[in-house]
Structure 1
Amino acid sequence: MDMEHQFTHLELFIPEETEKGSEIKGSNSYRFMCPHAGQFQCKLTNLVFKMEGKGEVMYRIVSWDTHPMDGLAHMQPIGPLYDINCIQGLVSHLYLPHCEIMYEESKVHLAVAHFTADSVELIQPLQVTNTHVIIDIQGFSLFGLLLNKMFGSSCINAQVLLFYKKMTDRGRRKKLHIHLLPMIVSVDEVANRQNDFRNITTSSKCQLIPGRKYRPKCEHKFQPQDETFDRNCGPNYHPTFEVFLEAEVEEITIGLLDKEGKEVWEPRLVVLTGNWNCGTHINFIIIPTNQRGATLEVQQSAKTFLGFQTLLSIFSW
């Protein structure tokens, strides 16, 4: 094994997030100002850049749908498609995260698609670890991880994400969205597209098989009755299931079953009360008593990160 590409002296960074240049509403672009040469891992996407020096890297997740894979019908995307830009030569190696349960014989069936203005090429990995596929890069554009379709029906590392909202109907009912997603999908990326829904943090890890049907284990009404799990890596993240709850429900026990009724995500207690989590936006409309015609709009955005909470209030008359 080539030790040059191991995760030695890996530095974790938090990128600057911006919607500038994003083709999908709520989808962020990321900016990394590298201070020096070394290996750097993005906390939000798990991308790793091997940097040759100081400089700026811009990247975002885009849709596979708008980038046809001509001549690659035997391959399937198994990760996000990244649009990466920086000065030529600044990044020497790119580490693309994956969620495959790797065996030595399966590594040879992985490849990376590199899209340029008028073509797509396959790049063979320099190395495959349990978490990343490592490639040598000469130029930048779009990069995405592919797997031969003949070997894509086994378990992958996945996650069950829960998002909750109080509905505005007269009954004050509640709705819980269940998302079945590959483990490499960023919770922050999903939360950015959920509008008024808040993420409920729970132990989300599981192993699912793409193409297989699953259903919630739950005593409350939900739809659909079952759904096929696929490798949805963005940039859109629609809920897999919707669970409808009465107003008085403050906790729910929920799990996940396969089509044979076997538990693949053990039932757990989920509490629907408490503080708002990272990425939640709460809007208040306040009418001042001394100005009947004026409206004070207060938007509070609470984001918790590394144990600290940042609270932003914007007032407009």
Structure 2
Amino acid sequence: MSEKAAAEEDGGSLRKKEKSLTDSYSEVRLNPDSLDTELYLSKDDIKHIKAPSSFTPQVQTESTHISYRFRCAGPGVFQCTLTRLVFVMAQEAELLYRTVQWDESLLQSAGKTAAGPLFNITCSVDAVWELHLPHCETKEALCVDGLLSVAHISDDGMSILEPLEITATHVVVKVPHLSGWGVIWDDFKRLLNITVNGQVLLFFRPSEPARINVFLLQENIPLSEVSAQQHDDAEYLQTPADCLFSFGQRYSVHCEPESRIIQPKQTQFRSKSGPNYHPTFQVFLSTNSGFVSLIVKDQEGNEIWKSSVCLPAPRTETLMRNVPDESGVPADERLLTVRSQFIDRVSEPVLNKLLDKLLEQHIINEQEMESVRSQQSKADKAREVIDTVRRKGSIATSLLIAALREEDPCLFIELNLR
């Protein structure tokens, strides 16, 4: 039997299994032209799908660590928006995954080093054909043959698998069964190219003394993992994050206007693989409002990254100060008059930002947020947001209006909510 015929027979034997869903699961969308989940699908069928369907998983936080959960509707290729993991699925299934600690002794004995997080993955059925793990390599590094491989860690120990393919962003591996999976470097070949794609993450803490925690990390470290470990008052400062870092190179951070203190003054860049992440630098500020510019320099004094950020005022203070109340009409009545326009015009990115602000202010809870995100269309999401908040009264509605003015001032003006 030919390899192709064998693959088709293997894939053809897998049907979508109908299951009764008794829990709430994350929303997963298939590309409209991707596939019919009622049909038999071979591995070749799956691979002809042009692009993965993205999904945002349900997230559960325990202490400072998080786990992810989603149910795919059927066979296909699915990419997690938080971790960038890609799952090639043979059939409908539920996936649970989280990052765990690497066993350094296993890696060292094999001459390997962790090249990113170790993901512990479980599945309700053996439904995963392939796993695509994100890497942080530059185009030049990908020319080094044998630099990257994949570690599969189970109760029997660690096995090292050669990738089926290495793309510009992911390492692709066949999945015999699930447990611990992570990308690893060959220690010697890593020395042939020490530069990686990195990111600079900033978290602002307004409590005295006001400070910005600066993280220098590889590109394939999920923001969600770092965010989960921040203090309750810490706020992520969204700014262009891309940067190139070299292992062993020393870096420093500088602030304009001048800060009170920056610690440490300089430090080497080292790979991080989690699950714990600590700030690379702390910048103690001389002000807790207005714009500040942060600069990362290498040991020769070359500027390799710079960004200006606006320090946010305390969250409740900001929203309450911006609550529009010029018309004298109660906020819930004002919002009701523009309900249909809001549903039609608000964008999905703005909706997500509004949800974040409403959750931060305890206007909605986690379950209400997940209920909004599980809606099939943008209009349904907008409809549930506006109706959920209106039912909570004028104060909650005023905060939604204020948040809309911050996130989409043009729509705020168009809706005449001033």
Q: Is residue 92 of structure 2 the alignment partner of residue 54 of structure 1?
A: yes
Q: Deviations over 1:53-88 (max 9, x none)?
A: 111011001111x46316744111111000001145
1:12 is aligned, of 54, 60, 63, to 54
Relative to structure 1, the CA distance from residue 5 to residue 107 in structure 2 (aligned partners, 3 Å threshold; closer, same or farther) is: farther
Question: 2-side partners of 1:256 and 1:97: how far apart?
Answer: 25
Decide whether the 8 Å contact of 2:66 with 2:98 is kept in 1: yes
Decide whether the 8 Å contact of 1:88 with 1:139 is kept in 2: no
Question: 1-side partners of 2:216 and 2:165: how far apart?
Answer: 28
Displacement of 1:155:
1.1
2:143 is aligned, of 87, 90, 105, to 105
1:251 is aligned, of 278, 281, 291, to 291
Higher relative contact order (CA 8 A, sep 6+): 1
Question: 2-side partners of 1:174 and 1:183: how far apart?
Answer: 27
Name structure 1 gaps, 5 residues minimum: 277-304
DSSP 3-state at the match of 2:114: strand
Q: Is residue 88 of structure 2 the alignment partner of residue 45 of structure 1?
A: no
TM-score (norm 2): 0.62
Relative to structure 1, the CA distance from residue 6 to residue 229 in structure 2 (aligned partners, 3 Å threshold; closer, same or farther) is: farther
DSSP 3-state at the match of 2:65: coil
Q: Is residue 182 of structure 2 the alignment partner of residue 144 of structure 1?
A: yes
1:260 is aligned, of 300, 306, 319, to 300
Question: 2-side partners of 1:70 and 1:215: how far apart?
Answer: 30
1:206 is aligned, of 234, 243, 257, to 243
For the pair shown, the structure with the greater C-alpha radius of gyration is: 2
Question: 2-side partners of 1:74 and 1:67: how far apart?
Answer: 10
Report % sequence identity: 33
Question: 2-side partners of 1:307 and 1:72: how far apart?
Answer: 49
DSSP 3-state at the match of 2:183: strand
Deviates most, 156-165 or 85-94: 85-94
Q: Is residue 278 of structure 2 the alignment partner of residue 238 of structure 1?
A: yes
Equivalent residue number for residue 330 of structure 2: none
DSSP 3-state at the match of 2:115: strand
Relative to structure 1, the CA distance from residue 68 to residue 87 in structure 2 (aligned partners, 3 Å threshold; closer, same or farther) is: farther
Equivalent residue number for residue 158 of structure 2: 120
Relative to structure 1, the CA distance from residue 7 to residue 98 in structure 2 (aligned partners, 3 Å threshold; closer, same or farther) is: farther
Equivalent residue number for residue 306 of structure 1: 349
* Higher fraction of strand: 1
Question: 1-side partners of 2:301 and 2:107: how far apart?
Answer: 39
DSSP 3-state at the match of 1:68: helix
Q: Is residue 222 of structure 2 the alignment partner of residue 186 of structure 1?
A: yes
Displacement of 1:274:
5.3
Displacement of 1:102:
3.5
Matches within 5 A, 1:61-140: 61-64=99-102, 66=103, 68-69=105-106, 72-103=109-140, 104-140=142-178
Question: 1-side partners of 2:48 and 2:248: how far apart?
Answer: 33
Question: 2-side partners of 1:30 and 1:272: how far apart?
Answer: 31
* Higher fraction of helix: 2
| Backbone CA RMSD of aligned residues | 2.6
Decide whether the 8 Å contact of 1:30 with 1:58 is kept in 2: yes
Equivalent residue number for residue 288 of structure 1: none
2:309 is aligned, of 260, 265, 270, to 270
Question: 2-side partners of 1:230 and 1:71: how far apart?
Answer: 16
Question: 1-side partners of 2:214 and 2:139: how far apart?
Answer: 27
Relative to structure 1, the CA distance from residue 251 to residue 9 in structure 2 (aligned partners, 3 Å threshold; closer, same or farther) is: closer
